[in-house]
């Protein structure tokens, strides 16, 4: 799961941002100073950093510039300043996006997701660490799915799935143990932008559960985490 570094000396804001990001299955680290941030980055580069402009030991612009000398991961500047020149300065020094306080946490999460999507698309190798080979099959408590054979069985009995249903189940199984939001699932499987009023995912999940013989109120395999998404444990 993506690792986000939140650099802000206001503990309340850092904690609030952390709550929203963790709800979307991100790993979150925090730093209250530029020095702490650089130590954290050198120890383990994050997938994205949120930098407050007003830090006690160095302003966020200078920190952004310092990071860019060594690293390419996305940077979003977070600040109470609203002047256009501040935004231009941040973007010129290497920031990828800019959001002003007070901000809507959901908008911030959306911007984080957008930056990560773009970064992964154009930099598949990420920070240079080789990605581990993805398993080609999963066996989860009697639910078996084989990507190469395009086959799914439940307790040894084959389940007939459409290509779309198979893709949904494969994505959930390949991310088992964490909650996948409807937005993430839709955009990963359908390859289109998700709209809040879209009930497509819910309808297909219901059909999948039916094929797996799941009890609607107490599903064993595809579980709903209300207000967050779906998970296969």
Same domain, 51 and 19: yes
- Backbone CA torsion sign across 116, 134, 157, 179: negative
pLDDT in tens, 6-25: 999 999 999 999 999 999 98
Same domain, 7 and 103: yes
CB distance 31 to 54 below 8 Å: no
Q: What's the full length of the chain, in residues?
A: 233
Same domain, 104 and 146: no
- Residue 180's beta-bridge partner residues? 230
pLDDT in tens, 42-98: 999 999 999 999 999 998 999 999 998 888 888 999 887 666 676 677 777 778 888
Q: Which helix (H) or strand (E) holds 86?
A: helix 84-92
The domain boundary, picked from 122, 150, 175, lies at 122
pLDDT of 139 > 90? The answer is yes
Same domain, 100 and 183: no
Taking the model in full, what pTM does it have? 0.54
Domain residue limits at 161: 137-232
Same domain, 68 and 175: no
φ, ψ of residue 134 to 5 degrees: the values are: -80, 135
Tokens of 64: 């952004």
Q: Report yes or no on 37 lying in a domain.
A: yes
Same domain, 13 and 104: yes
Q: Report yes or no on 132 lying in a domain.
A: no
Q: What angle separates helix 182-189 from helix 200-211, to the nearest 10 degrees? A: 90
Please give the DSSP secondary-structure letter assigned to residue 58. S
**pLDDT at 86 (0 to 100):** 67
């Amino acid at each position: 799961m993506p690792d986000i570094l939140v650099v802000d000396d206001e503990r309340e804001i850092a904690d609030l941002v952390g709550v929203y990001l963790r709800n979307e299955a991100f790993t979150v680290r925090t730093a209250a100073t530029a020095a702490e941030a650089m130590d954290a980055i050198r120890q383990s580069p994050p997938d994205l950093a949120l930098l407050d402009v007003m830090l006690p030991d160095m302003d966020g612009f200078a920190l952004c510039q310092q990071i860019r000398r060594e690293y390419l991961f996305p940077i979003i500047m977070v600040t109470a300043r609203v002047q256009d020149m501040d935004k231009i300065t941040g973007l010129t020094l290497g920031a990828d996006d800019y959001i002003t306080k007070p901000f809507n946490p959901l908008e911030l999460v959306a911007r984080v997701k957008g930056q990560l999507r773009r970064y992964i698309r154009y930099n598949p190798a990420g920070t240079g660490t080789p990605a581990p080979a993805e398993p080609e099959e999963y066996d989860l408590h009697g639910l078996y799915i084989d990507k190469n054979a395009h086959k799914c069985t439940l307790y040894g009995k084959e389940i007939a799935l459409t290509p779309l249903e198979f893709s949904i189940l494969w994505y959930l199984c390949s991310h088992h143990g964490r909650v996948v939001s409807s937005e993430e699932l839709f955009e990963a499987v359908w390859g289109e932008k998700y709209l809040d009023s879209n009930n497509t995912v819910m309808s297909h999940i219901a059909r999948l559960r039916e094929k797996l013989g799941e009890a609607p109120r107490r599903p064993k395999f595809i579980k709903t985490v209300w207000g967050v998404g779906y998970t296969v444990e």
